[in-house]
A and B are shown apart, each in its own frame.
Chain A
Amino acid sequence: MNHYEMMVMTNPQLEEKAQNDLIDFIKTYVHQNKGELVLAERWGKRGIAYQIKRFLEAYYDVLYFRIEPKHLPEFERRLKLKEDIIRYMIIKVEKTQEEKIKIKAMAYANKEKAEAANAASSEPQPSELPEKAEPAINATEGTNE
């Protein structure tokens, strides 16, 4: 299993539903082939530095996942069939970066949990939040060494 990073640019004229479907398509492909999604970042709509396929802006998404490399050619073939994907790039993540991404993913998960806790109850348990924040800080110190 290799760790990959993928950046996708999608059609800016798409509705949110269609946009989410495209990203879900990528996620399901990874899951179907015994891969593991580490982190999905949503950049949202932003301008492109130059015209690509007559578009001057695009939805940007960055996905980090682990998958067997033998599944990638088929994955790319399917991506090319999607007309709403303006451009994509899959890069192998360097080993020094893998931990950083894991920490990022942890931070994201903690944020989501905290938000969910806030939404569920107006009085979130204060003891939980600092406990979760601490391991992330310790982990960042570990990578610097």
Chain B
Amino acid sequence: MNSSTKKTMSPIPSKLMQLRKKRICRFCKDGARYIDYKDIKILSSYASERGRIPPRRITGNCAFHQRRLTQAIKRARTMGLLSFVAS
């Protein structure tokens, strides 16, 4: 029993890993260096239903652009362009 489950279990995560690795950062793809806090269309597309900033493992962004994105969203929030909490 143990040996059979191990055999069936092992290939599935590796396949998932391969699929996940293909995800590319959207901003890298567009060649953008700067993410503007005034560009609410892009920012709101990243904010979740509750208005939270999703983590990198969900957005698939690279570290550089995720940092930029969070900064832009936070700036937009202070200027009242985005909400802190979902209405």
Chain A residues in the interface with B (C-beta under 8 A): 7, 9, 48-50, 52, 58, 62, 87, 89, 91, 94, 96-97
Contacts and interface: CB of A to CB of B under 8 A. Distances in A.
Given A94-B34, A96-B34, A48 B75 contact: no
A91 B75 contact: yes
Contacts of A49: 77, 80-84
Given A96-B33, A97-B34, A50 B84 contact: yes
A93 B19 CA distance: 38
Of all A-B residue pairs in the complex, the 9 with the closest CB atoms, nearest first, are: A48-B80, A49-B83, A49-B80, A96-B33, A50-B83, A97-B34, A7-B79, A94-B34, A49-B82
Interface residues of B, number: 13
Nearest to B38: A62
Query: DSSP majority for the A interface?
Result: strand
A70 to B, nearest CB: 24
Contacts of A91: 75
Given A89-B75, A91-B75, A58 B80 contact: yes
Which has the most chain B C-beta neighbours within 10 Å: A49, A50, A62, A87?
Answer: A49
